[in-house]
Amino acid sequence: MLTVSVVIPVYRAEQTLLDLYRQLSDAMSEVTPDFEIIFVEDAGGDGSWPIIAELARTDQRVRGFRMSRNYGQHNALLCGIRAAKHGIILTMDDDLQHPVTEAKLLRSCGLGYNFIALRRAANATIETGYDTRIASSGQAAASPNAL
């Protein structure tokens, strides 16, 4: 069975967080019953943190981390990745830029793929790339379609 950690850096996203949570919870429930959603609030100064705290209080699959100051998206991602409990990690933005329904592509991990990359094509479709190699020794494992 797949076990998945979804890591989302959050910056001034109070308007989208609840919708993101609902959509992502529904999509991930179709992939696996064993997943967690990690929100890392990057000191945006809006009402994002109280929303994350409430979600974590009411849903055991949600974990929240609050940065002491704004460290930037990449450091927020790194914080969430380090905290992840599961070996499969999906990263997403907080603004619903990534269609959460694409999380269903994680099922491909069960087919022996270690790396799945998505990119939006010029015609707004989603192209995928798969690779069975895994990054090691500082070398990136990327498919021809990965950016």
What contacts 69, CB < 8 A, 6 or more positions away? 43
What contacts 123, CB < 8 A, 6 or more positions away? none
Please name every residue paired with 129 in a beta bridge, in sequence order, or none if there are none. Answer: 117
Percent helix, percent strand, percent coil in the chain, to nearest 5? 35, 25, 40
* Of the candidates 55, 66, 53, the residue with the CA atom closest to the CA atom of residue 9: 66
Which DSSP state fits 104? G
pLDDT tens-digit map of 78-116: 999 999 999 889 999 999 887 888 787 777 666 666 666
CA distance 129 to 16: 28
pLDDT tens-digit map of 125-146: 444 444 444 433 333 333 333 3
* Domain architecture of the chain: domains with CATH: 4-101 (3.90.550.10), 112-147 (no CATH)
CA distance 49 to 64: 8
At residue 118, the pLDDT reads: 67
pLDDT tens-digit map of 47-81: 999 999 999 999 999 999 999 999 999 999 999 99
Which residue reads 């990057």 in tokens? Answer: 42
Q: To the nearest whole number, what is the mean pLDDT of the chain? A: 81
